[in-house]
Amino acid sequence: MTGVRVAGVGLTQFGRQPERTGRDLFAEAALAARDESGVPSDDFEEINYGNFMGSLAERQGHQAPLMADMVGVDCPATRYEEACASAGVAVREAVRTVRSGESDVVLAGGCERMTNLSTADVTEGLATAADELYEIRAGITFPGAYALMERAYFERFGGDREDLAHIAVKNHDNALPNEYAQFHRAITVEEVLDAPMVSDPIGLLDACPVTDGASAVVLVSDEYAEEHDLDAPVSITGSGQGGDNLALQDREGLATTPATERAAAEAYADAGREPADVDVVEVHDCFTIAEALALEGLDFYDAGEGIGAARRGETTATGELPVNLSGGLKAKGHPVGATGGSQIAEMTRLLRGDHPNSEHVEDATVGLTHNAGGTVASAVVHVLEVDR
């Protein structure tokens, strides 16, 4: 079984770009990844494309071959849909394909165009990642669903909104130098606590924004990288995926995320690593409570301890375990179909040393990314390592 190297990464600016199409956005990211990798287009053997809302937001199904056309690549192309974990799954399947020896070069990533819709239409579209029969018909939205999870966490483990406000502040600080981030504005704990309430206890500044954007990574086998003398020091050494009941009422509890636990256990075992080996992390912080849940599901903290990590300074840029140095979904943005690929791209940049926040992790050799779908009914975890 061959190893898998990240030969190149590409990102668009994240933010409001309603005048651009999804095909335009993905082409920009994919061509940037291709150019950085130095891999000729003719060598691409597959495209794995993540997208969640394209059929609703752009009335465009069957997007994968369209994206291959836009990139100028003649190869099989497949769309992966796993709600907000769509690109994470697309990358995972690319890793499995390259490892198996079936392909030596795979382009993986994703895209979402959302700001061309009204807020109400975006909310309705995102809600389709919940259970239509038992949740959507009852009027559930994702702020409402995560509010239920946050309340359950507070009741079971303690903590408060001020703990979570420190997560938002930290991630906005991390986004300041990131040229791809949607927000380049520092915020304070007081601003988070005083922001308008979206779904009690979740306020506006506890939530990630609506975002347009695309991501792409070129993955190659060790043999291909060596044969073509590619500069590709970062490898994906571990990959895992986990699942849980789709509807919240079917779960044993709302204060933990078993899908993350299962994905993490598989990824750690696959890489031959443990949580203590990880130097830097990108997690799926669609809401501030989601970062706390992720840190505990990934086994960096015991249950009930992750919520206070940012407040204690442990997960800040200068802490012992920097989390979301990209700015996370909270401040970098969350174009849902692109997020998992964006996390891989950002972690690659951090480990290579060419990310604006790499200065905080100069000695890092092991990174981890965590991408979740819906209310964490799906989770994908990857372990990345760099040659030093």
Residue 8, strand partner residues: 218
- Enclosing domain of residue 198: 130-207+238-382
Q: What is the tally of helices (H) and strands (E) in the chain?
A: 13, 11
Please report which confidence band the pLDDT of residue 221 belongs to, taking 50, 70 and 90 as the band edges: very high
Residues 155 and 245 in one domain: yes
- Long-range contacts formed by 136-143: CB under 8 A, 24+ apart: 141/199, 142/286, 142/374, 142/375, 143/198, 143/199, 143/202, 143/207, 143/287
- 288 belongs to a structural domain: yes
334 tagged catalytic: yes
Model pLDDT for residues 36-64, shown as the tens digit of each residue: 999 999 999 999 999 999 999 999 999 99
Containing H/E element for 99? Answer: helix 86-100
pLDDT band at 337 (very low <50, low <70, confident <90, very high): very high
- Other beta carbons less than 10 A from residue 80's beta carbon: 24
44 CB-side CA count, 13 A:
29
Q: Are residues 149 and 276 in the same domain?
A: yes
Question: Residue range 344-360: average pLDDT?
Answer: 98
Domain CATH code at residue 335? 3.40.47.10
**DSSP 8-state symbol, 210:** P
Number of domains in the chain: 2
- Distance between CA 6 and CA 354 in Å, rounded? 14
Q: Are residues 335 and 378 in the same domain?
A: yes
- Cα–Cα distance, 41 to 316 (Å, whole number): 39
Q: State the average pLDDT for the chain.
A: 97
The pTM score is 0.98
Alpha-carbon distances, residue 89 vs 93, 125, 265 (angstroms): 6, 20, 16
pLDDT at 1: 79
The answer to whether residue 45 sits within a structural domain is yes
**pLDDT score of 286 more than 80:** yes
pLDDT at 388 over 80: no
**Same domain, residue pair 259 and 296:** yes
Percent of the chain with pLDDT over 90: 99
Interatomic CA distance for residues 17 and 38, integer angstroms:
28
Q: Pairing relation of β-strands 280-282 and 366-373?
A: parallel
Domain-located, residue 336: yes
CA of residue 215 relative to chain centroid, distance: 10
Residues 190 and 274 in one domain: yes
Tell me if 164 is assigned to some domain.
Answer: yes
Q: Tell me, yes or no, whether 242 and 377 share the same domain.
A: yes
Q: What is the pLDDT of residue 189?
A: 98
Rounded to an integer, the average pLDDT of 84-100 is 98
307 and 369 inside one domain:
yes
161-165: average pLDDT = 98
Residues 95-130 have pLDDT tens digits of 999 999 999 999 999 999 999 999 999 999 999 999
For residues 200-223, average pLDDT? 98
What's the pLDDT score for residue 26?
A: 98
Whole-Å CA distances, 335 to 25, 164, 208, 209, 339: 11, 22, 10, 9, 6
Same domain flag for 201 and 76: no
Residue 208 is among the residues annotated as catalytic for this protein: no
Residue that the structure tokens 């986004």 belong to:
175
What number is the average pLDDT over the span 71-87? 97
Residues 142 and 264 in one domain: yes
Please pick, among 284, 334, 355, 370, the residue that the annotation labels catalytic: 334
Tell me the β-bridge partners of 382: 239, 369
263 pLDDT exceeds 90?
yes
Is 124 part of a structural domain of the chain?
Answer: no
Pair 325, 199 in one domain: yes
Q: Given the residues 84, 111, 208, 286, select the one marked as catalytic.
A: 84
Asked if 347 contacts 384 with a C-beta cutoff of 8 angstroms, the reply is yes
